Structure 1
Amino acid sequence: MANTTRSRAAARTALVVSLATMLAGTAATSASAASVVPVTNPAFIQPYVNPDNASEFVRVTLGSNAIHGWRLGSNAIPGWRVVLGSVDVFGRATSRTPDGSQAVDLGGSERGGIEQTIATEEDAEEQVTFKAKINDHPDCVSGARDIAQEFHVQFAADPEHAQRFELGSIAKPARGSSTWTLRRATLWGTDRFSRLQFISDTNHACGPLITDVKVIERP
């Protein structure tokens, strides 16, 4: 009888170990299935902006304008294209990013938007993460305190699944929006390549700020 009891106990132990091994293997397989999708210039460190001058910025337009003596077109931000209106690239002093990177104001002289083409698989789940905050530039504080700062993230070929973000206003920021906060959008690959877009919904020169864009793909 004792031998039978020990045999049953040993069998149960073996079963538990086997199940644990299977679960660990499944978790490892799931983790390995996720892959990082390269994003060019994710923290907008180019074009370079003086990190010590809070009044300096680089304006990039859909067309081509002379701003502060520079002639800039829609491709002046490496990796990104302006697809709507205009945007501003802020340096460290203006954006006050925690890691010293730069940021994009999605409203330059008007409502703006940017995009980057990234490698994806059709119908794969694309986890887009980025940091965002309301635009508290001194000019915005004095002139746009009550204007809602909103934007959406989408793949250009799939606007129906766009994900919208509302940061409140400078006067009444939404929870966490007055400091850099990690945000997440889940999109679905539209083809071998998808055009990732950040589009302001704020019809004003002071748009939301974004930086540190990353993408993880889960087939």
Structure 2
Amino acid sequence: MSRRQLRRTLCVTATAIGSLATATTSAGAATAQEIAITNPAFLQPRVGPNNLLNNIGPNDNRITGWRVLGANVDIYGTTRAELTDGYQAVDLNGNNTGGIEQAVSVPAIDAGPKTSVTIGFQAKNNNHPDCPKTTEQKFHVQFAEDPGDRVNFTVHTVTSPGPYRTWQHVTAQFNVVPGVRLLQFVSDNAGYCSALVTKVTASATRP
């Protein structure tokens, strides 16, 4: 496995995020710089704890800070999403393949041509009663400006979710040209249900 592949290997932990703010950490001689994410835990629009707001389409601007891609997405209330901290989650499929994107400002680090960007978030298998029970729930994270550089994720199936039976913290790393860039979470499923995602963070360091 190459060093690049190692850097892009999926990082999975069972540790819950204690704060949506990205901690300042050291990467060699570089210090991570937080990249602002609007509405990282999908609290706007607010949904009743046991409810969901379904089939939010591309022309619907109710998800503050995010634009819907593809067909549509759902917002899950905190209890429906099995979150215990009051946050909400997005289902990347409403009734068909969907996704979300947000414009983020990627800083230049030491005037380099590219910046190393780490996207952190929590993901979980979507076990809503309407979800297909044996379909792998898959999605990918990318920047729209470089769709060939994407990180793929699977949260397995409803019947065999593995660690994704509960919320897991995962990360994806990219080398990005500084400027305003479109961060995207895109489902790779058709029909009802894809993975649940929440608590999105981003940070930048020198590559």
TM-score (ref. length: structure 2):
0.80
Q: Let me know the Cα RMSD of the aligned residues.
A: 1.7
Q: Which residue of 1 aligns with 2:175?
A: 188
2:125 maps to a residue whose letter is: I
The alpha-carbon deviation at position 28 of structure 1 amounts to 9.3
The alpha-carbon deviation at position 203 of structure 1 amounts to 1.1
Q: Which structure has the highest helix share of the two?
A: 1
Distance 1:203 1:125, change over 3 A: same
Counterparts in 2 of 1:53-68, with a 5 A limit? Answer: 54-63=50-59
Quick check: 2:37–2:200 contact (8 Å CA) kept in 1?
yes
Higher mean alpha-carbon deviation, 38-47 vs 200-209, is at: 200-209
Counterpart selection for 2:164 from 177, 190, 197: 177
Taking the aligned partners of 2:179 and 2:76, their CA distance within structure 1 comes to 32
Counterparts in 2 of 1:199-218, with a 5 A limit? Answer: 199-218=186-205
The alpha-carbon deviation at position 55 of structure 1 amounts to 3.9
Q: Which residue of 2 aligns with 1:129?
A: 120
Distance 1:55 1:138, change over 3 A: farther
Larger radius of gyration: 1
Distance 1:171 1:160, change over 3 A: same
Taking the aligned partners of 1:202 and 1:101, their CA distance within structure 2 comes to 24
Quick check: 1:157–1:190 contact (8 Å CA) kept in 2?
no
The alpha-carbon deviation at position 178 of structure 1 amounts to 1.1
Deviation track 1:24-60 (CA, whole Å, cap 9, x = no partner) reads xxx69835x3100000000000001012xx2442431
Q: Which residue of 1 aligns with 2:43?
A: 45
Which of structure 1's runs of 4+ aligned residues deviate more than 4 A?
A: none
Task: Name the SS of the counterpart of 1:50 in structure 2.
Answer: coil
The alpha-carbon deviation at position 139 of structure 1 amounts to 2.2
Counterparts in 2 of 1:83-98, with a 5 A limit? Answer: 83-98=69-84
1:150 counterpart = 2:149 = no
Counterparts in 2 of 1:70-109, with a 5 A limit? Answer: 73=60, 75-109=61-95
Q: Which residue of 2 aligns with 1:17?
A: none
Task: Name the SS of the counterpart of 1:95 in structure 2.
Answer: coil
Taking the aligned partners of 1:55 and 1:37, their CA distance within structure 2 comes to 31
Taking the aligned partners of 1:172 and 1:92, their CA distance within structure 2 comes to 23
Task: Name the SS of the counterpart of 1:177 in structure 2.
Answer: helix
The alpha-carbon deviation at position 171 of structure 1 amounts to 1.4
Taking the aligned partners of 2:51 and 2:69, their CA distance within structure 1 comes to 25
Q: Work out the number of aligned pairs and report it.
A: 176
For structure 2, list consecutive stretches of 5 or more residues without a partner in the other structure: 1-25
Quick check: 2:51–2:76 contact (8 Å CA) kept in 1?
no
- Percent identity between matched residues is 37
Q: Which residue of 2 aligns with 1:36?
A: 34
Quick check: 2:130–2:192 contact (8 Å CA) kept in 1?
no
For structure 1, list consecutive stretches of 5 or more residues without a partner in the other structure: 1-26, 64-72
Task: Name the SS of the counterpart of 1:176 in structure 2.
Answer: helix
Task: Name the SS of the counterpart of 1:194 in structure 2.
Answer: strand
